[in-house]
């Protein structure tokens, strides 16, 4: 197993890409902290809770715990880290996947939506990375993976599916990835950004789109494969890279 003995935190893992990555890590032997705000089903929201993900992991003998966490709240993030260390003794991997999007035109975007998109997608990654770094430094290695989006690169995509606020936040996340990689490399911590080349068919995206719009969309499988590869890295390997899943697969023969 590629991640045997490793401890991983995956934010936003009640559903979607985060859930798929958490399950994929567990199948490779990692002990997984399933972290998200959704601990109970909510009417009018996409399906999936942190306990659903843990139940799936436990169904094949994997090890996981559910931690309710608001990544925009520093105390909540610190509590998540404390529970992780108390339960599993260390932190080796962090996947910053928690995200929120408001697929509306920018002139219809409220200040509340704008600020929340930046807080969840960007500030949350900053808070989580800052909180886990001391524990990775203590271990002498670590891997941080930031889940980004092509919305950060494509001038029209952000408006179509995610809204401009989300796209701006993801562009900031890419810059955070490079900054973290530069500063944490001396501690043997790898920091990379991963984004899907094609739209991923997840619970959240199904909630916002019609079935005919999702033709040609893909499952999270490629993202999981790449996340496992990146989780195995430290600063002596792949670090400071922001790339799509298809690029990762091509470059590294995954």
**What single-letter DSSP state applies at residue 122?**
I
Query: Angle between the 124-139 and 74-88 helix axes, to the nearest 10 degrees?
Result: 30
CB 137 within 8 A of CB 235: no
Q: Give dist(CA 224, CA 3) in Å, integer.
A: 13
Q: Output the six-digit token pair for 64.
A: 């996981």
**What single-letter DSSP state applies at residue 37?**
S
Q: Facing residues of 93 across strands?
A: 8, 143
Listed residue (150, 154, 130) closest to 142, CA to CA = 130
Exposed, middle or buried: residue 216 (CB in 10 Å: 0-12, 13-18, 19+)? exposed
CB 146 within 8 A of CB 96: yes
Length reported for the chain: 254
Residues 6 or more apart whose Cβ sits within 8 Å of residue 210? none
Q: Give dist(CA 149, CA 240) in Å, integer.
A: 16
Residues 6 or more apart whose Cβ sits within 8 Å of residue 101? 117, 161, 162, 163, 165, 166, 204, 208
Q: Examine the residue annotation and report whether 166 is marked as an active-site residue of this protein.
A: yes
Q: Output the six-digit token pair for 247.
A: 């690029």
Catalytic residues: 166
């Amino acid at each position: 197993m590629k991640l045997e003995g490793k401890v991983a935190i995956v934010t936003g893992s009640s559903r979607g890409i985060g859930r798929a990555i958490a399950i994929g890590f567990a199948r490779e032997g990692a002990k997984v902290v399933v972290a998200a705000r959704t601990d109970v089903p909510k009417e009018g929201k996409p399906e999936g809770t942190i306990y659903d993900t843990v139940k799936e992991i436990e169904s094949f003998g994997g090890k996981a715990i559910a931690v309710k966490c608001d990544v925009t709240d520093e105390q909540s993030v610190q509590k998540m880290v404390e529970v992780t260390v108390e339960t599993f003794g260390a932190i080796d991997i962090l996947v910053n996947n928690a995200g929120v999007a408001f697929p509306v035109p920018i002139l219809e975007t409220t200040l509340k939506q704008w600020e929340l998109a930046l807080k969840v997608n960007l500030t949350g990654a900053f808070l989580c990375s800052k909180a886990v770094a001391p524990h990775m430094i203590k271990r002498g290695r670590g891997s941080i993976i930031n889940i980004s989006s092509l919305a950060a690169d494509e001038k029209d995509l952000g408006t179509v599916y995610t809204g401009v606020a989300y796209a701006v936040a993801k562009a900031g996340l890419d810059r955070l990835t490079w900054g973290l990689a530069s500063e944490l490399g001396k501690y043997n911590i790898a920091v990379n950004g991963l984004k899907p080349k094609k739209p991923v068919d997840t619970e959240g995206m199904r909630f916002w789109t019609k079935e005919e719009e999702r033709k040609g969309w893909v499952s999270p499988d490629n993202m999981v494969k790449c996340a496992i590869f990146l989780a195995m890295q430290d600063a002596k390997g792949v670090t400071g890279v922001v790339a799509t899943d298809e690029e990762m697969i091509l470059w590294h023969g995954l």
